[in-house]
A and B are shown apart, each in its own frame.
Chain A
Amino acid sequence: SAVISQKPSRDICQRGTSLTIQCQVDSQVTMMFWYRQQPGQSLTLIATANQGSEATYESGFVIDKFPISRPNLTFSTLTVSNMSPEDSSIYLCSVSTGTRISTDTQYFGPGTRLTVL
């Protein structure tokens, strides 16, 4: 497994502003992912953060709204840009520590609870 931390743990933001969420892992990992959990909803994958290249976004999510960085094998950031109340969610970072992506377990960080007013 891996120990994953996220900053901030929660924030309340004004609409139109941006927030950058950090994800730090205690060991080098192959894959990092960003998920969104809207209130009372399940988890939805936003994008896969690729080290050294652009993130791969899922349908319905775009880089202008959710820019992602992954400068090394232990760190990634997700920015929620030009926020609206609909962006109020829990944002979770997850990692895959193995080398076989199809069977690997994903381990999740504690999440960042974002409220947009």
Chain B
Amino acid sequence: AQSVAQPEDQVNVAEGNPLTVKCTYSVSGNPYLFWYVQYPNRGLQFLLKYITGDNLVKGSYGFEAEFNKSQTSFHLKKPSALVSDSALYFCAVRDASSNTGKLIFGQGTTLQVKP
């Protein structure tokens, strides 16, 4: 069965410091991986995805994520956090063999960036 784990309910960083939001996954086949962000009272916004190719994926708002097949991880990173990055972040996975489009989401990680 497919699953996604985000081991941290909350991550706290100071503005200007690098941030990492962790994600590990489990799929039977090859994974397609996604990161979304949810601001209060808003829908999910797409940040980036890994399908194939370079393991380091760059996305919106300066975010990037690194696919690590051996560790089955897809951690979200940003070199310098902004207060406006404070939000709820979701990692999601889809099995490459899927013909349904179904995404499996992690539990979410709240990022708090303090001035």
Contact = CB atoms under 8 A, between A and B. Distances in A.
Nearest to A111: B43
Contacts of B105: 42-44
A41 B51 CA distance: 26
Contacts of B102: 33, 45, 48, 58
| Most chain B beta-carbon contacts within 10 A, residue among A58, A106, A111, A113 | A106
Contact of B32 (A4, A45, A102, A108): A102
B107 A41 contact: yes
Contact of B99 (A4, A42, A101): A101
A113 to B, nearest CB: 8
Interface in A1-49: 1, 4, 31, 33, 41-45, 48
B100 A101 contact: yes
Interface residues of B, number: 25
B55 interface: no
B44 A92 contact: yes
B42 A110 contact: yes
Given A42-B90, A42-B105, A108-B43, A56 B51 contact: no
Given A41-B107, A42-B107, A42-B108, A107 B46 contact: yes
Interface residues of A, number: 27
Contacts of A96: 101
A104 interface: yes
Q: Is the interface of A mostly helix, strand, loop or mixed?
A: strand
Contacts of A101: 98-101
Interface string B37-66: 000011111100101000000000000000
Interface in A88-117: 92, 94, 96, 101-111, 113
6 contacts: A42-B90, A48-B100, A92-B43, A101-B99, A105-B46, A106-B34
Interface of B: 32, 34, 36, 41-46, 49, 51, 90, 94, 96-103, 105-108
Given A43-B44, A105-B34, A110-B42, 9 more contacts: A41-B107, A42-B105, A48-B102, A56-B100, A92-B43, A104-B101, A106-B103, A108-B43, A111-B42
